[in-house]
Structure 1
Amino acid sequence: MLTWLIETLQKYPEIAVMLTLLIGFAIGKTHIKGFTLGTVTGVLLVGIAIGSLHIEIPSATKSIFFLFFLFCTGYGIGPQFFQGLRKDGLPIALFSFIVCCSSLLFCWGIASLLHFDTGTTAGLMSGANTCSAIIGVASNTINELNISDEDKAKLVNQIPVAYAVTYIFGTAGTSWFLSVIGPWFMSGSRAKLIEETKEMEAKINEATSEGEQNMKTAYDHVAFRAYLVNGELTGTGKSVKDIEQMFYQKKRVLYILRVRRSGKLLDISPDFIITPGDIIGVGGQRDAAIASESLLGKEVADAELLTFPVQTINVIITNKKTINRPIKLLLKNNDFHGISVRKITRTGIEIPLNAHTILQKGDMIELVGIQEELDKAVPLLGYKERGGVETDIIYLAGGIVLGTLFGALSFRVGNVPLELSTSGGALIAGLFFGWLRGVYPRYGYIPAASQWVLAKLGLHVFIAIVGLSASAGFLKGLREEGVTLFLAGMVLSLLPMTLALFLSKYVFKFHPAIGLGACAGAHDESAPLLAVQDALNSKVPALGYTVAYAVANITLTTSGVIIVLLMHKGG
């Protein structure tokens, strides 16, 4: 049976790839006292194990999947990357770029001191910074070097060895460092930083002018209820607009959506006069409705009044009049009447939601309301994200083709031939086409689920094939340089983060919580961000993470090319 299985895997290598994904994901997602190995490392190690059965896979296969990964990665962060290069995001973008460049220089110095070869150095850079994309771009760059095929294979096979040894501390060690040492460095203690973060949240949420409303509490847990109006609310009669304004001034966002009078449902407008005896359908914050019951009147069960369609839609922020402005301004616009904001995500990360949250180009904002009201609100923000699952394949394939053709162009600096490589071209194309889609959102739709599948599957199939191909030299490399590599990875993970904390506090002078989020973003990893947010019990660090992550993703991926050229020239 075992012989049959081995022969089958050798004859049909595609089965070996799928088996690697199956077991690798299962191992990578297993929690042991809160720690997970990670799916990339899990797939890599399983690939190395199965690769010992001498599975042969055409090398070009993995490149196709890697291009999908790079393009979709760039597509997803494109709007935030270019937003970060503007005035408001420039400090965090510059901070992240400096930290990533320091990591490249530290890696070069450590590798030169310890006499690592080019492949080991690239794997060290990738694992210590938890940037899996470096494996691919470094491998491509090595294959372009003017050395023998045997030497190329040897160097490429060393990359996953170094990556596997250094990745675990790169993730877990950095998460611990930023969540434990970070608060102490930034504020003297975790408790003090928690207090400072709460003060910042309170300051953000505090109304600075009459009628301003905390969006976090106003729009979470939205309720729709019916009340029998009494004279205390309206006197002899009061307009819908005046009643809503009265509650608005009390810091309670409530909207009158429907009215029943003498048994009949009536259409209403801001000037419609509400009189005692009317039954009104009210929507807004549940707590605000409960707190206002004495004024609203007796709550009644009117199923017909409250039977109306409420929709949830996602809108991409593209309107120039909304970009770089706080959400609170939307409350003052009549076309935003009756709309609830559930959440805002930026590069896939949910950010704190309050009246002062600044909307940026490419943000995804989730709205809840009646269809008619939503139709009025969408133009204020940008473009309603289309539903469905169909990906614009022409846009996807066209972007990859143009990017790889651009990356394949070669030019010479003196006697040195230089090219961006097809992988670098695909990443830059993803950035450009992601930004272009933010400008012209009617075209180039790639659903978030499709982006996730293409990026995840692309990366993990690539890693699986790397593991299957590198199995022969893995154990030998691990025996020869394992301990040294692990210690080098620790140093390379912590040195840039130490510099990042110093720059954040003394040079850029970020708020400590935002600074820790920027440090996590500059490490190109969400695990440290989650650890910091958990330590501070706040989502404020996400405000510093998104731009830093976008810049780090590009800078660190590009460093895979640079570190290979530096080490090859030095060698």
Structure 2
Amino acid sequence: MEYIVETLQKHQEIALFLTLGVGFWFGNKKLGSFSLGVVTSTLLAGLLIGQIGIKLPGVMQATFFAMFLFSVGYSVGPGFIRAMRSDGLPQVVFAVILCFVGTATAIALGKLLGYNAPLASGLLSGGYTNSTVLGVATDLVRQSGIAGAQAQSALALMSVAYAVTYPFGTVGSAYLLANIAPKLMGFDLAQECEKYAREHGVGGAIGATAYREYSARAFRLSNTALAGKTVLEVETLFNHEVFVRRMRVTEGAAIVDCARDTVLTEGAVVAVSGGLAGLLAHEDRFGPEVKDVPLLEFPTEQLDVVVTNKGYADKNLGEVVDTLFGQPGRGVFLLKVTRADVSQPMQRELQVKRGDVLTILGARQDVDKIAKELGYADRPVQSSDMVFMASGIVIGSLIGAITIHINHIPFSLGTAVGAIVAGIVCGYLRATRRTFGRIPEAAVWVFNNVGLNGFIACVGLDAALGFVGGLKQYGLVLFLAGAVVTLVPLIVGLVLGRYVFKFPPAILLGACAGARSTTAALGALQQEGKSNVPVIGYATGYALSRVVMALMAIVVVNVF
């Protein structure tokens, strides 16, 4: 045991991965329907393992945090931009109200318990899980002109209050929003996220479905009226609702890929593709359906094609389909048209714009022909555009780090806000200009989950000793005061958001997490909701709370 402790203290990266492993393992365990969740379990694991004295470099925590914030911003960039256009102002007002409520609660408790400025500032910072308060209050103490020893004592007191109140601020807010609030308010979070995503066109596919709009089937041609006709004649007879793709003249004969002038032979087995309605309408006119696996084993592909060819921009969708989906793309089907990540109505008069994405399905060689003609084939890839991601984080963080001094007090959005805003912008650019910036869904999952829980693990390991020491010195009262500062703004926010602002449930919970600047709660909401929809409500409140709570820190210090 001594060897393990010494090794963990010497090689902190081992302690970090041990915390992550325990957090993910225990967080996925369920006792009936109860589960702590990965985020909460990771923090508790960090607080436990950190009792042996683990100090991680601050840059590690900041790096994980930047990864997480960029990834969630990237995931919902288009949805966030649309939400801001429609209901951004209510979210702004909502976030400011919660910041005021949290500050008023901390001031009232501080006065009641006889706390001084450092204790009250630490109480607000930890209970509200907002490190901006701690930073501004620390700077105010350093610039106050008090003696060095007294200043160091005040800073230590502030850090202890933060360490004691922060864990419940993280765990309590996450569990209240993700597990308790949906039950008390009578809705299923996952269903609400799915509903919002479906109605507003955000997020990926909700799940797999057995339904297939287009498929291919094999028929033995027994209809003598079709025998001797060319493929083009047959397809014209059926109003081009189905397409004859391949033919096997006799059993064991070679398979023929049909062209428009291919003549169909009586008794041959033909592979016919088309929409489900067309296949059902015309299946009896070919002959009995047969099983011919090799005949139907021609490669197909569903592909997103970005329109970059100027020759097709500003044309009606009907013109594009008539030009490309007849020849060279015979038998290729248009599944949907999206613009800036929003599905467009499938109408012939829809005007196609450069940057629109046409999702098509068909034989691979025919899909390739259409893709080359229209513009850019946006095929799924395993690699991520790391230049795009790194550049976004760098630029966003540099802007967020800009500091403005008012009466010698520094104000800054912070690199964290810069990272999430960069993710939103990059995600929106990716949705509207699909020729660059791809980050596969699996990679986004890694950046999101490892980033969030890596950050939480660092927080738990670093706060472990201060948490226990603070409890010994100030007792349970400080911890309970922090719990009140954590819960009061959330309860007020849930009531106001539901009955006054009337936010959709998934957006309401995200807005509460953002206005309370609790990243762990956002992660728990994503986990329970199986969706990134709560981030749309989170981003505005989180960015605002960084600025507003900086001002509230000045208020608290001056009040005390």
TM-score > 0.5, shorter chain as reference:
yes
Change in CA separation of 1:457 and 1:466 when aligned onto 2, cut-off 3 Å: same
Q: How does 1:191-210 map to 2 (within 5 A)?
A: none
1:566 counterpart residue number: 552
1:372 counterpart residue number: 365
| 1:447 aligns to 2:443 (yes or no) | no
- 1:300-347 deviations in Å (ceiling 9; x for gaps): 233443121123446679999999xxx999988854853475999x99
1:106 counterpart residue number: 101
Give 1:409 shift: 1.9
Aligned pair count reads 499
Equivalents in 2 of 1:106, 1:380: separation in Å? 58
- SS of the equivalent of 2:296 reads coil
1:519 counterpart residue number: 508
Q: Which amino acid aligns with 2:16?
A: V
| 1:171 aligns to 2:178 (yes or no) | yes
Aligned counterpart for 2:219 among listed residues 224, 227, 235: 227
Equivalents in 1 of 2:46, 2:337: separation in Å? 39
Residues 234 and 274 in structure 1, CA contact (< 8 A), matched pair in contact too: yes
Give 1:434 shift: 3.2
Q: How does 1:466-485 map to 2 (within 5 A)?
A: 466-475=459-468, 476=471, 479-483=476-480, 485=482
Q: Which amino acid aligns with 2:172?
A: V
Equivalents in 1 of 2:274, 2:303: separation in Å? 17
Whichever of the two has the greater Rg, that structure is 2
Q: How does 1:237-252 map to 2 (within 5 A)?
A: 239=233, 241-242=235-236, 245=239
2:146 counterpart residue number: none
Residues 96 and 519 in structure 1, CA contact (< 8 A), matched pair in contact too: no
Give 1:281 shift: 1.8
| 1:338 aligns to 2:332 (yes or no) | yes
**Alignment TM-score, normalising by the size of structure 2:** 0.71
Give 1:299 shift: 0.7
Give 1:29 shift: 1.5
- SS of the equivalent of 1:220 reads coil
**Alignment TM-score, normalising by the size of structure 1:** 0.70
Residues 39 and 523 in structure 2, CA contact (< 8 A), matched pair in contact too: no
Equivalents in 1 of 2:101, 2:31: separation in Å? 32
Equivalents in 1 of 2:126, 2:309: separation in Å? 43
1:556 counterpart residue number: 542
1:280 counterpart residue number: 270
Equivalents in 2 of 1:101, 1:316: separation in Å? 41
Give 1:20 shift: 0.9
1:211 counterpart residue number: none
- 1:191-230 deviations in Å (ceiling 9; x for gaps): xx9xxx9xx99xx9xxxxxxxxxxx999637542111345
- Aligned CA RMSD, in angstroms, stands at 5.0
Q: Which amino acid aligns with 2:71?
A: C
Equivalents in 2 of 1:98, 1:329: separation in Å? 47
Equivalents in 1 of 2:499, 2:2: separation in Å? 58
Residues 174 and 524 in structure 2, CA contact (< 8 A), matched pair in contact too: no
Aligned counterpart for 2:259 among listed residues 265, 268, 281: 268
Residues 132 and 550 in structure 2, CA contact (< 8 A), matched pair in contact too: no
Give 1:43 shift: 0.9
Equivalents in 1 of 2:288, 2:376: separation in Å? 40
Residue segments in structure 2 that go unaligned for 5+ positions in a row: 111-118, 143-150, 202-207, 514-521
Residues 169 and 489 in structure 1, CA contact (< 8 A), matched pair in contact too: no
Q: Which amino acid aligns with 1:404?
A: S
1:390 counterpart residue number: 383
Q: Which amino acid aligns with 2:219?
A: Y
Residues 95 and 544 in structure 2, CA contact (< 8 A), matched pair in contact too: no
| 1:121 aligns to 2:124 (yes or no) | yes
Identity fraction in percent: 25
Q: How does 1:82-161 map to 2 (within 5 A)?
A: 82-85=81-84, 90-115=85-110, 117-126=120-129, 146-147=141-142, 148=151, 149-151=155-157, 153-154=159-160, 156-157=162-163, 158-161=165-168
1:38 counterpart residue number: 37
Equivalents in 2 of 1:220, 1:138: separation in Å? 54
- SS of the equivalent of 1:33 reads coil
Residues 118 and 564 in structure 1, CA contact (< 8 A), matched pair in contact too: no
Q: Which amino acid aligns with 2:181?
A: T
- 1:529-568 deviations in Å (ceiling 9; x for gaps): 89789xxxxxxxx8xx84x732532432441442243134
Equivalents in 1 of 2:307, 2:134: separation in Å? 38
Change in CA separation of 1:532 and 1:150 when aligned onto 2, cut-off 3 Å: closer
Give 1:72 shift: 2.7
Change in CA separation of 1:517 and 1:68 when aligned onto 2, cut-off 3 Å: closer
Give 1:66 shift: 1.9
- SS of the equivalent of 2:454 reads helix
Q: Which amino acid aligns with 1:399?
A: G
Equivalents in 2 of 1:421, 1:306: separation in Å? 57
- 1:232-257 deviations in Å (ceiling 9; x for gaps): 9969967455455485xxxxxx5544
Change in CA separation of 1:24 and 1:181 when aligned onto 2, cut-off 3 Å: closer
Equivalents in 2 of 1:361, 1:112: separation in Å? 55
Residues 8 and 54 in structure 2, CA contact (< 8 A), matched pair in contact too: yes
Give 1:45 shift: 0.9
Q: Which amino acid aligns with 1:567?
A: A
Q: Which amino acid aligns with 1:224?
A: A
Equivalents in 2 of 1:239, 1:405: separation in Å? 64
Equivalents in 1 of 2:188, 2:439: separation in Å? 40
Give 1:402 shift: 2.5
Q: Which amino acid aligns with 1:91?
A: S
Q: Which amino acid aligns with 1:469?
A: D
| 1:60 aligns to 2:59 (yes or no) | yes
- SS of the equivalent of 1:299 reads coil
| 1:423 aligns to 2:426 (yes or no) | no
Equivalents in 2 of 1:30, 1:320: separation in Å? 54
- 1:434-464 deviations in Å (ceiling 9; x for gaps): 3334454444343332232223222222211
